[in-house]
A and B are shown apart, each in its own frame.
Chain A
Amino acid sequence: MAQKLATTCPQPATTCRQPATTRLRLPAAALTCSVALSLVTAATAGAAEPPIVLQDPDGDDNGPGTYKYPTDPVYLPRSFDLRKVEVTDRGDDVEFKVTIGANIEDPWDSKTWDGNGFSLQFVQVYLDFDHVNGKGFTDPLPGLGSVKFAADEAWDKVVVLSPQGRTRLSSEIRAKAAKFKDAIVVPKVTRAAGKTLTALVKKADLKVGDSGGAPMARWGFQAVVQSNEGYPDKADLLTRRVNENAGQHRFGGGDDGECDPHVLDILAGKAKGDKTEVAEQHRTLAWKCDTKVARLPMVYPAAP
């Protein structure tokens, strides 16, 4: 740098002076050790297997077809539009990648609240390991409103891809979802890049008895796209409500009471990304106060 400056100094050499040699006294050993530790850690991560890929059509980020985004400008179009879910065996871990229709931003500066580098999205990936009637949970996590899984599609584990750090998540789960505690999987790592959220989960955390563990195409999958709410309703697990009308930070197009599903986008049909899955989603999430509860379907990739 000093040399470069000297050669580009616009004045005669007699009036320009090179900076004196810099002095570095702090040892470089700590830095070297840190880099080595990073590389070792990175190199020991598991090798990839072909992922299970589930797709969703674009433009169906409207729940049963009527939902509207909040009016605050941070809720950019397609921010809750599910496009793809990839589940990959990574040795001792399982990687979940969820792609949405917009670049994932961090307008609320998540690092200041020990978050994971994004602010708005909250995705819950439900897993059914056995497809057995009566085994698992039919109620989703609190905060998704009036919606259920069918008894033969009851879920066994749910992976939560949240911008909230593990400390907040574990505290909220303990307070609001205690009965699901052992079934909720908080990833080791959750991060965002481009349009994709990535979560790394210990394979051991996906085990239920003899089921679970390494991902299999015979599992059932459902990815529910919601929005992270840092100040949720007292019973809601960090989810943003859907009201009758959109507000600054409330989705609209639903109900001000408890009749509607608080769900923006899900996997539907065979999860091939076919346009017919839009109508399928609207049909399954349709609701009517006192008479019809919306249903969250499981998608079984290995099913014929």
Chain B
Amino acid sequence: MTDPGWLPGHLPAHRPRAAPLSAICAVAVLVAVCAAAQPARADTQNFDLSARIYSKHLYQNDANQGLLMLGNPFWPDDVAGHNGVGSELELSIRGRVSPQVETGARIASRFGERWHDWWESGNSLYDGKLNTSGDSAGLNRAAYLKLRGTYIQVAPEAAGIDWVRVGASDLAMFNPWTIGKVRYIDRDNGRGYFAAGRFGADDAWQWHAAAIALPKLWVGPWWSTGVGDPALANAFWSRDWAYAGSLRWRVGEATTVRLVGDATQDLEVDVADPDAVGSKNATCKDALGNPIAGCAPDHAVDLYTRYASANATVDFDSQPLDWLRVQGLVGVSWQQIDPKLTANAVQRNQGLSPIAYRDGGDVATTLRVGAQDPWEVGLSLQGEYFNVGADWNSIFGARRESDVLLTEGLVGGGGQLPTLNLANEFLDFDEDWVETCIGWHGGTALATYEHGDARLHLEVTHIEYNTNRQDRDVAQVYPDFLHGDGFTDIALYDYANVTDRGRDPRSAFRKNQYRRTDIAVLRGRHLIDVGRGIELEWKAKAIHDVDYRRLVGPGATKDDYDGTIVQLRGHVAVPVADGVKLGAFTQGEQWDEQNRRGTLELGYGDDTTWKWTAGVKATVMYAGIKANWHLEHIAKAQDREREPDQAWSVWRSKLTVEAAW
């Protein structure tokens, strides 16, 4: 039913428990937009139309068909797979309606149609079974054009307000600890009401405020705001919102202080309310036909909060000397679950859950000090202390393509994020992974030496874990993500862990853990001055990861994990012509892991893994087109004590060709 509660002077007798702040924001923003906008005019000078065609060509020597190395493990999609070719088109439109108003939209084809589909119409007949008719594969395989990223932005002529936006945003105005910039593939799917402005002398204060529609997928228990939760028969998700604000204060020339905060609220209907769809009291009579006291329809529905969260950070960035930079952050994180409206995914979903199933929260602190070439010899130093509480969780924080810590971490490349909601899916084998830093407590020291066209980079990191605990409740409260153990193989990853791919990068918790990790990385980069210049990069990395697991009781001395991981990588690239670069790379790895995986009951085994990867890369940019090709072979052997040995010989290739105009 329609809730008229937001209309002035029309408050329902049964007032909703959760005030519809989002509706108030919407009205306020629309009033501001309408008040500031001038009459619209068509003006081709103020109309930008840009386009891009992108195609991807995936190959692997297996029998897996699709266009994406890793898809969605929860909702099996028809896009993921290792062999396929597909294209997409996107059109971006920017309009200048008036001096104060900008509009934008993106129209992009849905990625998933393979070249081999030929004439698929979008129909999904024949019970979803693929056949040759052209009417079987469904809309995803017909490359339909979808409207995305629509927004209207107005710059009202009002002091202190730069702009107000209604519609899409990439949410980059906050930070990874609160509301993170949305990952690339979802970049303009986030929509809401946004405003920003500046005030004070020399615009020293800058602010952002937003009310953002929560995605029905991922910001909440069961990666949803109710849809699909076994505890709910009729999820109510269209009034779930996040609210966020930031205030940045430039303190003189050298220092900035920023406060960022967000709150999310996932609402569900009170099924005892006779006006609710699916109400158990629709007639306001009990099983014997007697009236239920206090039950009376009023055409308004009570709402309860299924899940709420709030994160806030205060950070500073100061440069007291030309060469000295100090950055710090302190944050708090909190969540509350209504167990009547939220089934326990830890218990019922094999430990896969983006939240711990409990109310509460935690704090986090980071402090980074950087000395930029203080002796003017090319040597720069950085140090970072980090301490992220075990019960911290940034449920709406950045899921990938951001990094909050200095260290390269265990998985390397993508970095660390303080959330259980990481997104290491919808990606290909050449993309970076991220890992959770929930519970991490330690420090990183980093030295960079630059001289001429050479750069050396040394990192040393020590991590202890606030998640260390004995007999942690991973059956009911803390997710352990399929109980995966051992070093993670991101190159040959499978979500179901049928191939012993190691620990899930989201897995912050273990039943019995007493873990410490040391990481050392040495990287070099040089340009050899021959011809157009030969680019040479190399990296050596060692990880020593120790987890005593159970410390007392039966089996305590037989389950200790001791892993030593060594990786060596080299890469050479040669520009051979304007816009053409060829490269080759190789990487060798050895993982020596005592008690890599197992259970106290079945025992653990000492396993050794060898991996050798070699490949070539090519980039061609010519007259506005860009092509990238990556071909590699991975040879992997696992010598396992308790289980059969395993071997891989994987050839795979990815070619992308794109043009934008």
In the complex, per-residue mask of B12-46: 1 if CB is within 8 Å of any chain A CB, else 0: 00000000000000000000000000000000011
Q: Are B456 and A38 in contact (CB under 8 A)?
A: yes
Query: In the complex, which residues of chain B have a beta carbon less than 8 angstroms from the beta carbon of A243?
Result: 46, 96
Let me know if A1 and B172 touch, CB within 8 A. no
> CB distance B526 to A24 under 8 Å?
no
Instruction: Say yes or no: A175 contacts B624, CB within 8 Å.
Output: yes
Once bound together, how far apart are the Cα atoms of A191 and B50, in whole Å? 30
Task: Contact check, B452 vs A93: say whether CB atoms are below 8 A apart.
Answer: yes
B516 pairs with A1, CB closer than 8 A: yes
Q: Which of A1, A17, A77 contacts B548 (CB 8 A)?
A: A17
For chain B, give the interface size range: 35 or more
The answer to whether A15 touches B552 (Cβ under 8 A) is yes
CA distance A45 to B253 in the complex (A): 35
How many A-B residue pairs have C-beta atoms within 8 angstroms? Tell me: 199
Q: Are B552 and A171 in contact (CB under 8 A)?
A: no
Q: Does B518 contact A (CB under 8 A)?
A: yes
Q: In the complex, which of the residues B454, B533, B557, B560 contacts A38, with contact meaning CB atoms closer than 8 Å?
A: B454
Minimum CB–CB distance from B590 to chain A (whole Å) comes to: 5
Chain B residue with minimal CB distance to A38? B524
A200-B452 contact, Cβ under 8 Å, with A15-B551, A17-B560, A103-B319: yes
Q: Are A247 and B450 in contact (CB under 8 A)?
A: no
| Contact B453 A189, beta carbon cutoff 8 Å | yes
Which of chain A's residues 259-302 have a Cβ closer than 8 Å to chain B?
A: none
Q: Is A71 an interface residue (CB 8 A)?
A: yes
Q: Does B631 contact A (CB under 8 A)?
A: no
Q: Does A257 contact B579, Cβ atoms closer than 8 Å?
A: no
- A15 to nearest B CB, angstroms? 5
Tell me the smallest distance from the CB of B128 to a CB of chain A, in Å: 36
Interface residues of B in 598-631 (CB under 8 A from A): 619, 621-624, 626
Number of interface residues of A (CB under 8 A): 71
Shortest CB-to-CB span from A270 to chain B, Å, is 23
CA–CA, A173 to B163, complex, Å?
Answer: 36
- Given A16-B548, A22-B562, A42-B454, decide whether A71 and B153 contact each other with a Cβ distance below 8 A: yes
- Identity of the chain A residue whose Cβ is nearest the Cβ of B535 in the assembled complex: A166
Binds B, one of A3-11, A144-152, A209-217, A219-227: A3-11
B548:A22 contact, CB within 8 angstroms? no
Type the 1/0 row for B404-429, where 1 means its CB is closer than 8 Å to any CB of A: 00000000000000000000000000
Q: For A71, list chain B residues within 8 Å (CB).
A: 153, 155, 162-163, 196
Known: A109-B401, A173-B578, A175-B623. A74 touches B162 (CB 8 A): no
**B568 lies within 8 A of A31 (CB):** yes
Residues of chain A contacted by B548 (CB below 8 angstroms): 5, 9, 16-17
Confirm or deny: B556 has a beta carbon within 8 angstroms of a beta carbon on chain A.
yes
Residues in A whose Cβ lies below 8 Å from that of B516:
1, 5
Verify if B160 is at the interface (C-beta below 8 Å from A): no
A22 to chain B, nearest CB (A): 4
A2 in contact with B546 given A15-B557, A22-B564, A171-B622 (CB within 8 Å): yes
Interface readout for A121-137 with B: 1 if CB under 8 Å, 0 if not?
00000000000000000
Q: Which residues of A contact B (CB under 8 A)?
A: 1-2, 5, 9-11, 15-17, 19-20, 22-26, 30-31, 34-35, 37-39, 41-46, 58, 71-74, 77, 90, 93, 103, 107, 109, 112, 114, 166-168, 170-175, 188-189, 191, 193-196, 198, 200, 202, 231, 234, 243-248, 256-257
* Listed A/B pairs (10) with beta-carbon separation below 8 Å: A45-B453, A71-B155, A74-B172, A112-B432, A114-B581, A168-B626, A194-B325, A245-B155, A256-B46, A257-B45
Interface residues of B (CB under 8 A from A): 45-46, 50, 52, 94, 96, 99-100, 102, 104, 153, 155, 162-163, 172-173, 196, 203, 206, 208, 250, 253, 317, 319, 322-323, 325, 370, 372-373, 378, 380, 401, 432, 448-456, 514, 516, 518, 522, 524, 526-527, 529, 532-533, 536, 538, 540, 544, 546, 548, 551-553, 556-558, 560-562, 564, 566, 568, 570, 575, 578-581, 588, 590, 592, 594, 619, 621-624, 626, 660-661
